[in-house]
């Protein structure tokens, strides 16, 4: 069951055979039905996840009641809420867009693991750093690209998203209204 986790982690750091063994042993797996809210904005985030099957969306609602999709997490993605393990209320929601199978983690269990297998702590630290760098990069990218360029990027690099995600949610991910995404797509099919 932990194979997917190992394949994911291996993209970012080198794992020793012993570490791989460890990960396989220590995973808690749960399933959720489509539509399940894993975390609510304002609540405390006391779990982190790893997606084995399905797709999870993270989104936030601001004072204008506008909903913004922050990220989609399909298979082989780690989901670590920003407020994970802190006392601060969560800044965003987590929602299952399909029936999902997830690996669950929580701070207490993590601490237990760290005590038993100290190497685990640096793995987690590195993962945190990687996520932060990715976040910064996508922010920079977001500022320099137009919605159309962002859409084309997704078509090229994450084409399955288009089949699995409602377009109005993709629109809020791109930072435009659903109508604009609709027209953008029409434009693209015409010109090619």
Partner DNA sequence: CTTAGTTATTGATGTTTGTCAAGAATGGAG
Partner DNA sequence: CTCCATTCTTGACAAACATCAATAACTAAG
Task: Give which of a copy of itself, DNA, none residue 116 binds (C-beta under 5 to 8 Å, depending on kind).
Answer: none
Distances (CA, A) of 187 to 144, 171, 182, 191: 21, 15, 9, 6
For residue 13, state whether it binds a copy of itself (rule: CB under 8 A). Answer: no
Rounded to the nearest whole angstrom, what is the least distance from the CB of residue 175 to a copy of itself in the complex?
5
Name which of residues 109 to 168 contact DNA (CB under 7 A): 146-148, 166-168
Name which of residues 15 to 74 contact DNA (CB under 7 A): none
User: E strands within the chain?
Assistant: 28-32, 37-39, 48-53, 56-61, 67-73, 78-79, 93-96, 100-105
Order of all β-strands in the sheet with 67-73 = 37-39, 93-96, 56-61, 67-73
Q: Establish how many alpha carbons lie within 13 A of residue 57's alpha carbon, considering only the half-sphere containing its beta carbon.
A: 22
Rounded to the nearest whole angstrom, what is the least distance from the CB of residue 29 to a copy of itself in the complex?
27
Residue with smaller CB distance to a copy of itself, 18 or 146: 146
Rounded to the nearest whole angstrom, what is the least distance from the CB of residue 110 to a copy of itself in the complex?
14
Give the binding site for DNA (CB under 7 A). Answer: 146-148, 166-169, 175-187
């Amino acid at each position: 069951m932990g194979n997917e986790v190992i394949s994911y982690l291996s993209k970012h750091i080198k794992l020793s055979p012993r570490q791989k063994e460890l990960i396989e042993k220590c995973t808690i797996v749960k399933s959720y039905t489509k539509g399940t809210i894993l975390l609510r904005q304002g609540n405390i985030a006391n779990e982190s996840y790893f997606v084995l099957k399905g797709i999870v969306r993270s989104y936030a609602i601001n004072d204008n009641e506008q909903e913004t999709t922050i990220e989609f997490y399909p298979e082989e993605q780690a989901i670590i809420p920003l407020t994970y393990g802190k006392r601060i209320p969560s800044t965003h929601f987590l929602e299952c867009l399909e029936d999902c199978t997830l690996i669950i983690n929580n701070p207490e269990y993590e601490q237990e693991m760290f005590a038993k297998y100290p190497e685990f702590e640096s793995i987690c630290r590195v993962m945190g750093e990687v996520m932060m760098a990715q976040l910064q990069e996508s922010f920079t990218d977001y500022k320099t690209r137009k919605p159309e360029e962002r859409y084309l990027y997704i078509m090229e690099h994450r084409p399955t998203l288009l089949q699995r995600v409602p377009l109005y949610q993709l629109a809020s991910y791109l930072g435009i209204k659903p109508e604009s995404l609709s027209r953008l797509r029409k434009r693209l099919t015409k010109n090619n």
